[in-house]
Amino acid sequence: MNGATRSRPGISLVIPVYNERDNLAQLHSELARVMRSIGDAYEILFVDDGSTDGSDRVLRDLRAADGHLRVVTLARNAGQSAAMDAGFKSAAGEIVVTLDADLQNDPADIPRLLEALSGWDAVVGVRRERRDNLVRRVSSRVANYVRNRLSDETIADTGCSLKAFRRASLSRIVLYDGMHRFLPTLLKMEGCRVREVPVGHRPRLHGESKYGIGNRLLPSFMDLLAVRWMKRRKLRYEVKDDI
């Protein structure tokens, strides 16, 4: 936190950024508008995951103009899970909302997500109408099906980054590279209550997706096997007596 002017925010928006220069100003203005309308204390926490396209300069300028904004900068690109972990650890809010920096998630969905969090530990978005190309839509559908089958899970759209969490719940899990795709399952394994709500989706207009079939399919399948193993081998016992 920087300075006495800022009280402890209730809501931290955590946004991983890797080469998203041309999306950041619009994202910031949409987020500021939505968060002002909610009225709770908030911070917008951008995690710059080693961007090389000048995103750092844009973030610095935005931060100079808005006291709600914080920027955590990673020394070098470490991946989306690492960026999110750094954001979770730095977040001051009791509630953490995650979204992508590429404007594909709609900030206007945030109030509904927060409402849905009441009485739950996490709320995860389900993109009703994906605004991605056919290859991505089909591969995501197959991936969700396989993921749910192999890990005995029911989450419809784990790839949707728009999610809201109680920070206390996030503190209970340890992230590994790639695990941002399994947050709902990891939380459920810790006994957290997770629900799903439909959210919007928008096309990516600037910058490029960081994933394609090549760098997502095999790694996320290996991660799935790890999660399946963890779920199966989770310690389950009851202490009957301890005298």
Would you give the end-to-end CA distance of the chain in angstroms? 46
Site for ligand UDP in 97-116 (CB under 6 A): 100-102, 104
71 burial (CB, 10 Å; 0-12 / 13-18 / 19+) is middle
Side chain identity at residue 15, one-letter code: I
Q: Provide, rounded to whole angstroms, the least separation between the CB of residue 104 and ligand UDP.
A: 6
Subset of 121-140 contacting ligand UDP (CB under 6 A): none
Of residues 45-64, those binding ligand UDP (CB under 6 A): 49
Q: Count residues contacting ligand UDP (CB under 6 A)?
A: 16
Question: Cα separation of 104 and 115, whole Å?
Answer: 21
Is residue 105 at the binding interface for Mg ion, with CB under 5 A as the rule? no
- Comparing C-alpha atoms, which of 175, 186, 161, 72 is closest to residue 110? 161
- Residue span binding ligand UDP (CB under 6 A) among the ranges 148-156, 162-170, 192-200, 207-215: 207-215
Residue 80 touches which member of ligand UDP, Mg ion, none, C-beta under 5-8 Å by kind:
ligand UDP
Q: Which of 13, 14, 16, 160 binds ligand UDP (CB under 6 A)?
A: 16
202: left (phi over 0), alpha (psi -120 to 50) or beta: beta
Of the pair 16, 184, the CB lying nearest ligand UDP is at 16
